[in-house]
Structure 1
Amino acid sequence: MGEAQIERPTSPFDGKAFDVENALLMYALSYATMPAEGIYDQPALEPLRDSIKDCHIYLVGLTPVIQTQAVTQDGTNMVTSMSVRGQIHDLRWAIPPNVVLKGDADQGWWGEDEEGRRCFPDEVTIGMRLKLEAGVDFKVLYIGQAFGEEGSRNALDRLRKHETLQKIALQGVPAGYRLTLLMLEIQPGNSTITVINPRAANRSQGSERIRMGLDKLFGTDEAERTTLYEAALIRYFQPPFNTIFKKSFPSTNLKVLADCYDKDFAAVVAEISIDELPFTLFSDTVAHRHNHIAKFDLHDDEARRVFFA
């Protein structure tokens, strides 16, 4: 009797074209956010300048108006009553020992210790609490970028003369909402994801393709990353005021992707995963999520799809 043949389990990696495939990973490193009308308010912009200077991606969207209705003391807790979409949300904060609540609706409120030092939950902390407890969100209406010569322009430079921003504002903002800007800084270096597939049809180019991933993918410059990140987010969120990239990304006909195909990327990934954002992002086509990952295969050939099969 012959030996019984042991069948190897099938795998989604069986028969793929190459034993090594590379993807370019891009993610938002930091952010700045502000009401759209604030782009001309120089004193208000001053504390944000360091955060904004390297932000080349911007999102325009709607966020609910948030107002502080009252701040009171309840035993050892400070209670900030915040109005969001007409509903009051009471946020409780433990008051440190020897701190007294001071202020009023005109001056604002703060805690003050025996030496006169002031303390109060900062905007980021309050925003994160409201995001979780009141469902504060950001509806994406438009996505754009500004880069210039060797990164000489940032998002704010572009937004000050932005026709689409003016168009959105002129069409009107729903009651209870405000037009808000989210500006993102993309990570300064290149990150790649490499899949090594021992079941590929062609397993003779592994070393060469690894070297290509290191040499060519790491040669992608900041201007290219900025455009790829913008294109991926537009394709993902489908913002109503964007036209380019909404349906055409990815495509071999796009100039922005010509270099990607030359470097033989198999996929691109653009992430927004910042825990400190004071709202959750969503659009007409993308549900509310704390983290968003726009991921796209660049090849129609099924044999090249190994990342998002």
Structure 2
Amino acid sequence: MTPSPTRKHLSEFAVNLYSARWLMIPSWQIGTDGTMDPKYAEISENCHIYLICRRPGFSYDPFSFVYEDGKIKGDLVYKAAGVPHKIPFEREFALYDGAVEVVLSPYPHREIHTLDQNGEMVRYLPATALGIGLGIHVAERSLGDLEVLYVGQAYAEGKRTAIDRLKSHSTLQKILATVQYNMPDDEIFVLTFEYAPYRIISMFDGMAKNPIKGEVDEKRFISIQNNPLTKHQQICLIEAGLIRYFQPEYNKIYKESFPASDQGILSACYELDFSALAVEINTDELDFSLYSKTVRAKQHHIAQFDLINPRERLSFFLLENENAGPVIRADVISPSR
């Protein structure tokens, strides 16, 4: 009979990484030469992780669209599983900068254009932007669900932003081509996330039997405080954790293997004796949810990992039931090796 795992130390420590500010950018804007608002540019320049996601795309119904009395009216159109849906809208729409006319862009009618007296475009309003501004994704929850297709690092020692990297990103081009062919009614978004400096979460097991404690245990905590994880190490942990959690279709590494004791990105965690990792990502600010083929749609996700084998040693997330032995939580991912 295999002996039950025991608590090695009185205290256990976990690395907690959580998202802060974020941006949601339609993929078609990635390759344009437009200038980003300074407020959003600052966020973009400080983002650490990006997600490539998809959802149904919006267009304007050319048969119902009108501009009269300073208002635009009509229907936003989208398809879900090939079935068309229409959502009526009406809003004030003033003309600026010499614009004298309002028209729809050519098929598939993704934008409203304002034109000057020479027929030159002055401004444009994408159907997607109008839909988000009207909160349609809040009223119709399926439109607020974004499928995570790829997770990547947006930070390269401060030298290139996520937008810069994606302009020549082969995976993004592959995803765009595939979605255009297989899901022509959908559109791709890039979500970039800034992560706050990591937190250390501690847990003390007062029920543990003969754990290491006292001065030896205190020195572990002091060592953790005196040897902080680098920014690069934190970003690598976030990327790997989100890939393993969402298992996006277009990622290859870490989908099944993370965490593992022989992975270099975890070496600092093992040296400091962290026994767990929690990576959070939150999109509730704009009422969008993230999901994948293996994870249901939620606005706040917490990917939880045991970094030590729960069958060999009680870990941060592992609780001991006096009668039935250790209780392994189904929502915590154990090491692959």
Deviates more, 1:218-227 or 1:170-179: 170-179
* Residue in 2 that maps onto 1:156: 163
- The answer on 1:271 being equivalent to 2:262 is no
CA–CA separation in structure 2 for the residues paired with 1:163 and 1:197: 48
Shift of 1:307: 1.7
Correspondence 1:147-296 to 2 at 5 A? 147-149=155-157, 151-173=158-180, 174-187=183-196, 189-205=197-213, 208-210=216-218, 212-213=220-221, 215-216=223-224, 219-277=228-286, 279-296=288-305
CA deviation map 1:181-216 (0-9, x unaligned): 1111111x2212111111113444255445534542
| Aligned residues of 1:146 and 1:157 also touching (Cα < 8 A) | no
Q: Secondary structure at the match of 1:148?
A: coil
CA deviation map 1:280-305 (0-9, x unaligned): 21111111112111111111133332
- Of residues 16, 30, 33, the one that matches 2:7 is 16
Deviates more, 1:82-91 or 1:19-28: 82-91
| Aligned residues of 2:49 and 2:153 also touching (Cα < 8 A) | yes
| Aligned residues of 1:268 and 1:298 also touching (Cα < 8 A) | yes
Q: Which has the higher contact order (CA 8 A, sep 6+)?
A: 1
Identical positions, percent: 29
Q: Which runs of 5+ in 1 are unaligned?
A: 1-13, 94-99, 110-121
* Residue in 1 that maps onto 2:119: none
- Of residues 49, 61, 64, the one that matches 1:57 is 49
- Of residues 25, 32, 51, the one that matches 1:41 is 32
Give the TM-score, by structure 1 length: 0.76
| Aligned residues of 1:68 and 1:81 also touching (Cα < 8 A) | yes
CA–CA separation in structure 1 for the residues paired with 2:258 and 2:233: 14
* Residue in 1 that maps onto 2:120: none
Shift of 1:42: 2.3
| Aligned residues of 2:9 and 2:213 also touching (Cα < 8 A) | yes
| Aligned residues of 1:58 and 1:143 also touching (Cα < 8 A) | yes
CA–CA separation in structure 2 for the residues paired with 1:232 and 1:265: 15
* Residue in 2 that maps onto 1:143: 151
CA deviation map 1:69-95 (0-9, x unaligned): 66999xxxx9885433332235799xx
Deviates more, 1:232-241 or 1:129-138: 129-138
CA–CA separation in structure 2 for the residues paired with 1:18 and 1:79: 66
CA–CA separation in structure 2 for the residues paired with 1:160 and 1:232: 25
| Aligned residues of 1:128 and 1:277 also touching (Cα < 8 A) | no
* Residue in 2 that maps onto 1:304: 314
* Residue in 2 that maps onto 1:7: none
AA aligned to 1:22 is F
Q: Secondary structure at the match of 1:45?
A: coil
CA deviation map 1:152-177 (0-9, x unaligned): 33222221221111222232421221
Shift of 1:251: 0.1
AA aligned to 2:200 is T
Shift of 1:53: 0.4
Q: Secondary structure at the match of 1:87?
A: strand
- Of residues 5, 28, 31, the one that matches 2:19 is 28
| Aligned residues of 1:56 and 1:153 also touching (Cα < 8 A) | no
AA aligned to 1:87 is H
- The answer on 1:132 being equivalent to 2:122 is no
Give the TM-score, by structure 2 length: 0.70
* Residue in 2 that maps onto 1:83: 77
Q: Which runs of 5+ in 2 are unaligned?
A: 96-100, 105-111, 114-127, 319-328, 330-337
| Number of equivalenced pairs | 273
Deviates more, 1:191-200 or 1:79-88: 79-88
Q: Secondary structure at the match of 2:137?
A: helix
Deviates more, 1:54-63 or 1:123-132: 123-132
CA–CA separation in structure 1 for the residues paired with 2:130 and 2:284: 10
Correspondence 1:46-125 to 2 at 5 A? 46=37, 48-67=40-59, 81-85=75-79, 86-90=84-88, 102=94, 106=103
